[in-house]
Amino acid sequence: MHRFFSSTARIMTTKRISYQVGGEVQGVNFRSFTQKQAKSIGITGFVSNASDGTVTGEAQGSEDKLKEFVQHLNKGPSAASVHQVEQKDIDTKSGESSFDVK
């Protein structure tokens, strides 16, 4: 009896995105929430408050982990009111091992 296995296994490639979150996202613990979610998922990068009232940052990980991370960005902590999340692919960074609040 011969068994044939599909060779469609997904290769885990690393991606990096930049993101910007708009809405009521400053002064509501959004950055610490984002760091906690990133660490629990296994994402590296950073998050910071921008002068225009948004929260911005970069995140790196597998495509599946980044999708999960962006879902958390869209929700935010309970005190936040997220109106939009913009993201774009950017070049990956090597040697990064944490997710920092800036």
Angle at 17 between CA 14 and CA 20, to 5 degrees: 160
Domains of the chain in start order, with CATH, are 14-90 (3.30.70.100)
Q: Over the chain (102 residues), what is each successive 10-residue block's mean pLDDT?
A: 49 88 97 98 98 98 97 97 97 95 97
Burial 31-49 (b: 16+ CB within 10 A, else e): bebbbebbeebebbbbbeb
Q: How far apart are CA 15 and CA 17, in angstroms?
A: 7
Block residue for tokens 């009232």: 53
74 in catalytic set: no
The pTM for the full model equals: 0.87
Q: How far apart are CA 102 and CA 57, in angstroms?
A: 9
Q: Active-site residue among 3, 10, 31, 74? A: 31
Instruction: Assign 75 to helix, strand or coil.
Output: helix
49 in catalytic set: yes
